């Protein structure tokens, strides 16, 4: 453990972790190196065996190793970080709308709730600290304005989509290729091949980094070669449209999964209307047979804990 420059609060938390939680790792196959404090060096992290960063002072290196935030960090959360248990919960609200809930934040993706016959919750009931909008078609920008105003949410979108929202809403605007560091992690805007729904704009997808997990939200898109670049991102979950007609269909979504190589795929943007009826079970079986990648089919309102 490297913690010589840790503050007294972080040091005390690490002592509690060593006293009450290290038995969970005794006899295990891995040896871990825990770093804490403001004086740690990048080269030491890169040389360490299974490094883990603990405490807010180490946040600047969070891209190099699993990171447990807090000053002081909670000992049980250090354990979860070492075990790779993110504590995230994904809820499918229908169509392409999801919430991603962590201990502190709730991200809401493409909040099409009002007018969605399959919505699991109303726009008045959902909570969101942050909202991500892939483009301005009504079944994606949806209730963004009303929810953001009620919840004081931060909205991530392109500048063109931002022109459709109230001026009082807090926004973080970007374009494909751009990253925005956030209080929960990182948002990377990525290319989507689809109409933007607003003059001069482009549609986009997002790579969301939160609680050491990477989630690719494709938005509406056709199959594109840019997806091959996502292999380098080491995506944990890829949310891919399978509805066809307006987006990829199941066969192209399988090709996309093969390009991206995520740990898991969650299908979306299907069965909301007659034009996009698909069989997700058939997609799941074919995906597994073709690529070896697992699909998790979420019913509307169903939750997935990571």
- Helix and strand counts by DSSP (H, E) for the chain: 8, 18
Confidence of residue 86 (pLDDT cuts 50, 70, 90): low
4 — pLDDT class (breaks 50, 70, 90): low
Lowest mean pLDDT among 15-19, 121-125, 161-165, 243-247: 15-19
**Average pLDDT over every residue of 85-95:** 90
Contact 185, 66 (CB under 8 A): no
230: confidence class by pLDDT, cuts 50, 70, 90: very high
Compute CA distances 51 → 11, 101, 233, 289, whole Å: 17, 26, 19, 35
Per-residue pLDDT at 84: 75
pTM above the 0.85 mark? no
**pLDDT, greater one: 106 or 21:** 106
Q: What is the mean pLDDT of residues 227-238?
A: 97
- Across residues 38-42, what is the average pLDDT? 91
* pLDDT score of 70: 84
Q: Which two tokens stand for residue 253?
A: 């979504």
The Cα–Cα gap between 56 and 71 comes to: 6
Residues, the chain: 306
Q: State the average pLDDT for the chain.
A: 94
Is 252 within 8 Å of 220 (Cβ atoms)? Answer: no
Q: Which of 78, 2, 72, 67 is nearest to 36 (CA)?
A: 2
| Most confident option among 69-73, 102-106, 107-111 | 107-111
What mean pLDDT do residues 198-213 have? 95
Confidence of residue 238 (pLDDT cuts 50, 70, 90): very high
The confidence score (pLDDT) of residue 2 equals 66
- Distance of alpha carbon 252 from alpha carbon 221, whole angstroms: 10
pLDDT value at residue 158: 98
- pLDDT tens sequence across 265-293: 999 999 999 999 999 999 999 999 999 99
pLDDT of residue 3: 67
Q: Quote the tokens at residue 199.
A: 């003059």
Kindly state the average pLDDT of the residues 184-190: 96
Q: Which domains, and CATH codes, for the chain?
A: 2-83 (no CATH), 89-305 (3.60.15.10)
More reliable by pLDDT, 67 or 242 = 242
pLDDT of residue 273: 97
């Amino acid at each position: 453990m490297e913690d010589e420059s840790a503050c007294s609060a972080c040091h005390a938390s690490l002592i509690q972790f060593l006293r009450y939680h290290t038995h969970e790792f005794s006899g295990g196959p891995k040896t871990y190196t825990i770093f804490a404090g403001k004086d740690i060096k990048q080269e030491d992290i890169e040389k360490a065996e299974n490094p883990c960063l603990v405490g807010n002072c180490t946040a600047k290196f969070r891209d190099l190793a699993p990171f447990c935030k807090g000053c002081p960090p909670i000992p049980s959360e250090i354990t979860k970080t070492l075990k790779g248990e993110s504590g995230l919960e994904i809820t499918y609200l229908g169509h392409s709308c999801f919430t991603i809930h962590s201990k502190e934040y709730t991200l809401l993706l493409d909040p099409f709730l009002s007018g969605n016959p399959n919505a699991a919750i109303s726009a008045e009931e959902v909570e969101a600290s942050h909202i991500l909008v892939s483009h301005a078609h009504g079944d994606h920008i949806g209730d963004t304005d009303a929810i953001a105003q009620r919840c004081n949410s931060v909205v991530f979108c392109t500048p063109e989509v931002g022109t459709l929202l109230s001026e009082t809403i807090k926004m973080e605007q970007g374009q494909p290729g751009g990253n925005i560091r956030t209080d929960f992690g990182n948002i990377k805007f990525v290319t989507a091949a689809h109409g933007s729904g607003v003059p001069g704009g482009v549609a986009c997808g997002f790579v969301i980094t939160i609680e050491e997990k990477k989630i690719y939200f494709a938005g509406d898109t056709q199959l594109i070669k840019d997806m091959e670049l996502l292999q380098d991102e080491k995506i944990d979950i890829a949310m891919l449209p399978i509805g066809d007609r307006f987006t990829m269909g199941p066969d192209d979504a399988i090709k996309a999964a093969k390009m991206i190589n995520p740990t898991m795929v969650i299908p979306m943007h299907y069965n909301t209307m007659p034009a996009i009826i698909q069989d997700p079970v058939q997609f799941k079986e074919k995906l597994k047979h073709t690529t070896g990648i697992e699909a998790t089919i979420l019913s509307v309102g169903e939750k997935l804990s990571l």
